[in-house]
């Protein structure tokens, strides 16, 4: 992709701590990403937009989630130089994982195994009530299989996944995919392991490589 073309803007989110995970690696990754890309560079034709840390909560955190999602559309419609497209990349931790997972889809079901950080514990509740029942699936429009293959060839332990769970990660991803379809943008969710499984530096390198792959698709 030539740098003279319209730039794509990538916005990222991570999560704060939650039940059973006192130190969320995604909070560290997203908080450090801007400085990391300043030192190491971004792919040509890519702008790093917002880097937001979300409360690990469902219903109680929907309003701030939509505020940051909406801010990206405002940027897209402003006619600025970054009108080449918008991608949301959401990061969440899977404390039992041994590799990265690129999530292909989200399900319209909130069934939380434990209360979220605001005390909400829904069971078989539709995430977006007007979007069908709890079996409704939304898929990302990004080529997850292709992205995963390229990252695997780079040497990363990474897989595709069709199950983002039924907790807050899936909750945020479903809202984001629903919003993305309505607004002509793209969204993808990535689960990462704990730093004790894959160290911080490797995870930062993985995120930088993921941005490279996303830029190559445009």
Domains, the chain, ordered by start: 8-73+84-216 (3.40.630.20)
pLDDT, residue 79, reads 43
Pairing of strands 86-93, 8-15: parallel
Hey, is 67 helix, strand or coil? helix
Reported pTM: 0.93
71 pLDDT more than 80: yes
Hey, is 209 helix, strand or coil? helix
Which residues is 89 bridged to in the sheet? 12, 188
67 pLDDT more than 90: yes
Kindly report the average pLDDT of the chain as a whole number: 92
84 pLDDT more than 80: no
Q: Tell me the average pLDDT across 128-146.
A: 97
Name the band, by pLDDT with cuts 50, 70 and 90, for residue 59: confident
90 pLDDT more than 80: yes
């Amino acid at each position: 992709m030539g740098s003279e073309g319209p730039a794509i803007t990538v916005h990222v989110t991570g999560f704060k701590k939650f039940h059973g995970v006192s130190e969320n690696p995604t909070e560290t990754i997203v908080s450090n990403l801007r400085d990391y890309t300043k030192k190491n560079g971004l792919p040509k034709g890519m702008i790093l937009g917002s880097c937001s840390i979300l409360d690990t909560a469902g219903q109680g955190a929907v309003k701030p989630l939509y505020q940051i999602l909406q801010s990206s559309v405002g940027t897209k419609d402003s006619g600025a130089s970054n009108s080449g497209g918008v991608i949301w990349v959401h990061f969440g931790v899977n404390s039992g994982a041994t590799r990265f997972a690129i999530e292909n889809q989200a399900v319209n079901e909130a069934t939380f195994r434990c209360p979220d950080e605001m005390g909400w514990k829904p069971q078989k509740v539709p995430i977006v009530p007007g979007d069908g029942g709890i079996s409704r699936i939304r898929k990302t429009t990004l080529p997850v299989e292709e992205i995963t293959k390229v990252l695997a060839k780079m040497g990363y332990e990474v897989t595709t996944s069709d199950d983002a769970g039924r907790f807050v990660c899936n909750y945020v991803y479903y809202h984001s995919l629903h919003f993305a379809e309505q607004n002509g943008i793209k969204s993808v969710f990535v689960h990462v392991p704990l730093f004790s499984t894959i160290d911080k530096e490797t995870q930062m390198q993985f995120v930088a490589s993921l941005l490279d792959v996303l830029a190559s698709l445009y």
